[in-house]
Amino acid sequence: MALTPSHRRQRPIVLLIQPAEPATMYEDFLRQHDLVLRCPNDALEALTLTAGADEMVTGLLLPRPMDGFEFIRRVRADVRTKQTPILVLTAWTRRADRRGAGEAGCNVFLSKPCLPDV
């Protein structure tokens, strides 16, 4: 997934879903690279912001009513966002989780902990 400027605006918008977490090194890294972050608290709020995002970063364990797999499937079902890159950043490391995220439509799957530049 390339974090490159969008043809629509100067600074790309990254939708970062990490509920109930304080600012992380990932947020700091993205901001240092001049990206605009939108940080909704849950997937329902995130779905209202997806059409304006250039990239999306999500975990798999999200507060109800949907998990990260369902969030990705809904993003892919929307014609406005079906091509928007989605990166999964999660502590879940099972092959089944990686496969499920890929089948849902994520572009990149990273297991935590990993350095932000990965």
Q: What is the pLDDT of residue 103?
A: 97
Residues 82, 53 contacting (CB under 8 angstroms): no
What the block records as the tokens of 29 is: 């890294």
Instruction: Tell me the domain boundaries of the chain.
Output: 13-111
Give 5's pLDDT tier (boundaries 50, 70, 90): very low
Q: What is the pLDDT of residue 19?
A: 57
Q: Coil, helix or strand for 38? A: strand
Give 33's pLDDT tier (boundaries 50, 70, 90): confident
Domain 13-111 has CATH 3.40.50.300: no
Average pLDDT across the chain, whole number = 84
Q: Say yes or no to pLDDT of 68 above 80.
A: yes
Prediction pTM value: 0.83
Cα–Cα nearest to 72, from 54, 38, 96, 46: 46
